[in-house]
Structure 1
Amino acid sequence: MKKFLKVLAVLLLIIVVYLRIAIYPQLDLISGFSAKSVASGHFIDSRSLETIEKGDNDIDKVDWATNEINDVKKNVTSSVYGLKERKAIYRQGLGATLINNDFDVTKQYKVPQRYSFKNGREYPYGDIEPKDTLFSNIDYTKLEKAIANAFDKKGEKKKQTRSVVVLYKGKLIAEKYAVGFNKNSKILGWSMTKSLTATYFGILQKQGKIDIMKSAPIDEWKNDERSKITINDLLHMNSGLEWEEDYTKISDATKMLFQAEDMTKSQIEKSAKYKPNTHWNYSSGTTNLLSGILRKQFKTHQDYLNFWYSSLIDKIGMNSMIVETDMAGNFVGSSYGWATTRDWAKFGLLYLHKGNWNGEQLFDESWAKYVATPTNTSNGQYGAHFWLNAGGVYHDVPRDMYRCSGFQGQMVFIIPSLDLVVVRMGLSEDFDFNGFLKNVVGSLTIIDDDTYLKESLRKKEKLNRKDTK
């Protein structure tokens, strides 16, 4: 019996040591993720705690957390079995921010000035509900089936698609939502926000206010090999800096998102591992560094906050969108952009039209080509903060397709050769995107609508000539 108790004690000791070394350090990240997720989902999209815990937080280990919402103080506290309590606060205009014990919640803060333009035009170019538009070259039965197949059947939980929107030739031709979601539901785009962040450099470049080929304006890099890193290298994720983007453990990315006060500094502090433009490495830290570079372009913090909305988001009527900030007041450009599915589609349409919106050129046409051109170290998979199909990742989809892409399968697909934008929002990447797009594209006949009309007129004229003989 004594021998058994000794063995049992040793086993318990091993378990305790394992939990202390392997699990305990993760609790801070688990409760942090949960607090932030609940605060954003509840205060931005009015989701219930039950909905968030069963959906957004239904992730390995995150569901260990216990969450409490305070609607009066507009905050959320989360802990794991009473350990490592974390708090996220909500501030109108800035969204939810995960805070630490040093954060002064009584301190005044600035918010972006927003403008909601109502031009009386139909969606997607205006604020009026669109009328049904029928194109002669679309097989609507096939299209409806393709969209329906993107969603789980009753009782299933695999595809976990929340919404799909399809724009063709600037018209809404398909739209579907899962139970509990609708056209007004705001959904987190995660890393799709990276594409948004990059776009501001295209806007500033058109305005003649920045040169992306110049060295990044980082004081900490001026006296070492990092001084050779350009903004162009950062946009291509080609800086050569150290960075670990792993969300299954404590990594550079998770420490930045769930512990850092100023997320723009996380990548700055990393040393050079390779020469610039020689090794591609995906990094959320790089995008938040770029957000910090954007902030340096303005004289005041207020100007920085306003610019993100006045120059792009509100300019194209993405009035539902909110980009959340960190404790230091920086937009978390890597991950925290929320918008309705329709508004995410507007962003795709802006790129489909090469920066032109209602006749106004927000960025040069060359910028759309720039972001969709493969960086030389990504095997055709990545451009400038956009993912590409140049390497044929989706083999049944045109190679000119490029996309904004986010965690859990948030996607804005832009297909210039087909004048098509497809948006899918969900909770799972276990989804056949190639098959989905193949079926959507397959609902379009090869002939475009203008050609169809011309041929119809020719046939009609031919028949008229026969009738006159």
Structure 2
Amino acid sequence: MKLLKRILLLLFVGLAVIVYLNYPKLNIISGYAAKNMASAVFVAERPAASVTQNDNNVPLIKLADTEVDQQQKTATASVYGLMNREAMYRDGLGTVLVTDDYEANKIQIKPNRIQPLDTIPYPYGQQAPKDTIFPEIDQNQLDKAIAYAFGEPELRKTRTLLVLYKGHLIAEKYLDGFTKDTPILGWSMTKSVLATCYGVLEQKGKLEMDWPAPIAEWGEDERKEITLNHLLRMQSGLEWDEDYTKISDVTKMLFLESDMTMSQRNKPAVAPPTEIWNYSSGTSNLLSGILRQQFRSHQEYLDFPYASFIDKIGMYSMVLEADVAGNYVGSSYSWANTRDWGRFGQLYLDRGLWNGEQLFRDSWTDYITTPTEHSDGWYGAHFWLNSQGKYPDVPKDMFSCNGYQGQYVFVVPSKDLVVVRTGLAEDPQFDINNFLSAVVKSIP
């Protein structure tokens, strides 16, 4: 009997230690589950059951029980009844995790949107795509690429796919439950959208990439040497831990902080600028905060991305989500349907020229595709590169927007191609080299 009691005591102590060590993680788990559910239901208008079965059905997150209140437009989640978190939808701003700083009754200003009518076919307008035949395209080869993308669905988990060639839609396919109108969370593709804001401001002569970051508290230490260019290239030398498997800088920022622009801003330097390359979502949100500083009012800041290029190129489905403090979460939270992600890729394929208007300088595309030191040629300025042949069977001039779980906008200038793929699996489960090389081979 004494032995049994000792065993039970040891088990109890062991369980208590496990709960103690993992209890803080529950805040992150339930926060992720609530936020993801709320955005998928109220931004993408998807069924909650599908989100539970697919999007939130990943390690740890699937431990959360999530409920949706359609009337209040909220989602709540907890893990075994612990660490209850709530996410709330706000018109024009997407959803946000409620924190102690959130004022539910505060009047929320939202971005102004403009949707003029046009008679131009997709992708340059809102009308139906032209039914164009390109005899040089190997349709059988293109069909093989599409078949690969949607093959082995439990492994590759492709949801949507689109191919543009010479500004024309030549392929498009959607998994059941998704259509051309379904908004898709871009995750870190949002970083490329944020960078484009800087390209537009540069075009307008409002800032230059070699300007020091305008942060007063950095003026008295080594951080004063950090420029906008260093931040866009993730080579600021600031401390940051981008680990999603634990309580880290990035998970605390996304699921605990009210003002996400401060997370990287308060970090010390661990190296001089350019000496190291360290991928940091905190840096992107810091840049979102710096972007806000360029405007006299919060309304002007909220309007700017839409008025300057998003609505101009017809990405009317896009929603940039904001944090509790009203800053766009430039690291992670933007939604747009697959066709609109295709427009974004086409904007870069056309080097900023859209229906006769130069939205950012032609040279901006060269800037964002110039390899950043210490990134092994894989990163430019908030865009990913293939300059060193990471994907050996894909042209080296390919560059892309990449997001968690395999959201991609690939731009291949030498082939006049834009390829959009979204899903729930990334490389190597979804083999980018195999898929993209198959698409490229269809073009002579």
Secondary structure of 2:154 counterpart? coil
Residue 129 of structure 1 corresponds to 128
Residue 331 of structure 1 corresponds to 328
Report the Cα offset of residue 146 of structure 1.
1.1
Structure 1 partner of 2:300: 303
CA distance in structure 2 between the aligned counterparts of 1:117 and 1:216, rounded to whole angstroms: 36
Q: Secondary structure at the match of 2:237?
A: coil
For the residues of structure 2 that align with 1:406 and 1:230, how far apart are their CA atoms?
25
Q: Distance in 2 between matches of 1:48 and 1:340?
A: 16
Secondary structure of the 2:156 match is: coil
**Residue 71 (str. 1) matches residue 94 (str. 2):** no
Whole-Å Cα distance in 2 between the matches of residues 315 and 415 of structure 1?
23
Q: Which amino acid aligns with 2:286?
A: L
Superposition RMSD in Å:
0.9
Paired position in structure 2 for 1:451: none
2:119 aligns with 120
Q: Would you say 1:177 and 2:166 are equivalent positions?
A: no
Q: Provide TM-score, normalisation by structure 1.
A: 0.93
Distance of 1:48 and 1:180 partners within structure 2 = 9
Q: CA deviation at 1:99?
A: 1.1
Q: Paired residue for 2:139?
A: 140
Cα separation, 2, equivalents of 1:106 and 1:358: 42
Q: What SS class does the counterpart of residue 238 from structure 1 fall into?
A: coil
Is structure 2 residue 42 aligned with structure 1 residue 10? no
- Aligned-partner Cα distance in 2 for 1:42–1:312: 26
> Out of 207, 210, 216, which is 1:210 matched to?
207
Mapped to 1, the partners of 2:78 and 2:331 lie a distance apart of 25
Q: Which amino acid aligns with 1:13?
A: V
Contact 2:99–2:257 (8 Å) recurs in 1: no
Report the Cα distance in structure 2 between the residues aligned to 1:166 and 1:438, rounded to whole angstroms.
13
CA distance in 2, matches of 1:131, 1:210: 39
Structure 1 residue 391, shift from structure 2 partner: 1.4
**CA deviation profile, 1:404-452 (whole Å, cap 9, x unmatched):** 000001000000111100010000112111000111111112xxxxxxx
TM-superposed deviation, 1:49: 1.2
Q: Which residue of structure 1 lines up, in the alignment, with residue 40 of structure 2? A: 41
The residue correspondences of 1:399-418 to structure 2 (distance < 5 A) are 399-418=396-415
1:246 corresponds in structure 2 to 243
Indicate the percent of aligned positions where both proteins have the same amino acid: 54
Specify the SS of the correspondent of 1:79. Answer: strand
Tell me if 1:377 matches 2:374. Answer: yes
Q: Any unmatched runs of 5+ in structure 1? A: 446-469
Residue 132 of structure 1 deviates from its aligned partner by 1.7
- Output the amino acid matched with 2:99: N
Which has the higher mean CA deviation after the structures are superposed, 7-16 or 260-269?
7-16
Aligned with 1:403: secondary structure? strand
- Pair 1:191-2:188 in alignment: yes
Structure 2: distance between partners of 1:9 and 1:152: 51
Corresponding residue to 1:293 among 290, 295, 316:
290
Q: Distance in 2 between matches of 1:226 and 1:243?
A: 14
Q: In structure 2, how many angstroms separate the alpha carbons of the residues matched to 1:143 and 1:344? A: 20
Residue 284 (structure 1) aligned with residue 284 (structure 2): no
Aligned-partner residue type, residue 273 of structure 2: P
Q: TM-score, normalised by structure 2?
A: 0.98
Partner of 1:464: none
Q: Which runs of 4+ in 1 moved over 3 A?
A: none
- Give the partner amino acid of 1:73: Q
Task: Quote the Cα distance in structure 1 between the aligned partners of 2:100 and 2:281.
Answer: 25
In structure 1, C-alpha distance between the alignment counterparts of 2:11 and 2:207, rounded to whole Å: 61
> Distance in 2 between the 1:201 and 1:98 partners?
27
For the Cα contact (< 8 Å) 1:220–1:268, is it kept in 2?
A: no
| Cα shift at 1:74 | 1.0
Which whole-Å CA distance do the structure 1 matches of 2:70 and 2:15 have between them? 39
Q: Distance in 2 between matches of 1:243 and 1:79?
A: 28
Q: Deviations over 1:210-238 (max 9, x none)?
A: 12201100112111110110000000000
d(CA) in 2 for partners of 1:40, 1:168: 32
- Asked if structure 1 preserves the Cα contact closer than 8 Å seen for 2:149 and 2:158, the reply is yes
In structure 1, what is the equivalent of residue 54 of structure 2?
A: 55
Among 320, 338, 341, which residue is 2:338 paired with?
341
Is this contact kept in 1: 2:101–2:324, CA < 8 A? no
The number of residues matched between the two structures is 442
**CA displacement 1:82-122 (0-9 Å, x = unmatched):** 10000110011000011113411000111000001221100
Equivalent in 282, 287, 311 of residue 314 of structure 1: 311
- 1:348 and 1:220 map into 2 onto residues whose CA distance is 37
CA distance in 2, matches of 1:366, 1:119: 29
What SS does the corresponding residue of 1:141 show, helix, strand or coil? Answer: helix
Displacement of 1:145 in angstroms is 2.0
In the TM superposition, what is the alpha-carbon distance from 1:279 to its structure 2 partner?
Answer: 0.4
Deviation of 1:280 (Å): 0.3
Deviation at 1:377, TM superposition (A): 1.5
1:121-151 deviations in Å (ceiling 9; x for gaps): 0000001011321101101122122112201
Which letter does structure 2 place at the counterpart of 1:108? Answer: I
